[in-house]
Amino acid sequence: MRIGVDLDNTIVCYDGLFHRLAMERGLIPPQLPPHKRAVRDYLRSRGQESLWTELQGIAYGSRIGEAVPFPGVQDFFAQCRRTQTDVLVISHRTRLPFIGEAVDLHLAARHWIDENRLLDCSRERQAEECVFLELTREAKICRVADLRCDCFIDDLPELLTDEAFPQRVARILFDPQGEHADHPAYRRAASWSEISHFLFGDIQTADRR
Ligand SMILES: [Mg+2]
């Protein structure tokens, strides 16, 4: 089985980091919940879209090292190693931030993946063969098709329901805040342990015996 996984807001959790960046700059009240969406909605409600764009460039670039994997992500990757399941990171982001310091956002993402030791680098395959960062959503969908993923996990319903998305690929929507509706195109999961249970359920049980 080959599983493709999106990176930003699927593997990488930016909630605490966005809250911190906004607090450091005095942009939000401290009682605002530490969620990316709460920070975004607050800034937008005050007409500060460009500040939100600037924070994104910082979070995805120079400060990405402070972002953390979502709970259960490391167990999922460990489970893939144990079961020799092929897992690929397939994501898209711009090469440079729209506003702010010109940090290479692709390089920053690769460093984060290395630092968090998610991929099995003990195997002969190089990280370059497991991590595919594209510039557009269209290119990302083409990559999912070209790499013949059996399953793809993403936090964006609009990607999973895109008419160009290969129909044969099973889709899981990672929806930790329960923001989205069910849809016939995907199965919705609130956590990585739910995803692991769905994909490896029986094997996990066997491991624990
Ligand atoms: Mg994403």
Q: In the chain, what are the domain boundaries?
A: 2-12+69-208, 15-66
* Residues at Cβ < 5 Å from ligand 1 ion: 6, 8-10, 155
CB 58 within 8 A of CB 21: yes
Of all residues in the chain, what percent carry a pLDDT higher than 90? 84
Whether pTM exceeds 0.85:
yes
- For residue 118, the model assigns a pLDDT of 86
pLDDT tops 50 at residue 75:
yes
Topology, domain 2-12+69-208: Rossmann fold (3.40.50)
165 or 207: which carries more pLDDT confidence? 165
Burial 12-27 (b: 16+ CB within 10 A, else e): bbbbebbbbbbeeeeb
d(CA 71, CA 89): 17
In degrees, to the nearest 5, what angle opens at C-alpha 182 toward C-alphas 5 and 176?
Answer: 50
Instruction: Return the number of other C-beta atoms located less than 10 Å from residue 112's C-beta.
Output: 20
Distance 204 CA to ligand 1 centre (A): 26
For residues 26-51, give the mean pLDDT: 96
Element (DSSP H or E) covering residue 84? none
Distance CA 141, CA 101 (A): 29
Instruction: Report whether pLDDT(205) > 90.
Output: no
Residue 96 Cα to ligand 1 middle (Å): 17
CA pair distance 94, 54, nearest whole angstrom: 13
| Amino acid letter for position 167 | Q
> How many angstroms does the Cα of residue 175 sit away from the middle of ligand 1?
11
Per-residue model confidence (pLDDT) at position 117: 87
How much distance in Å is there from the Cα of 95 to the middle of ligand 1? 15
Å from CA of 200 to ligand 1 middle: 23
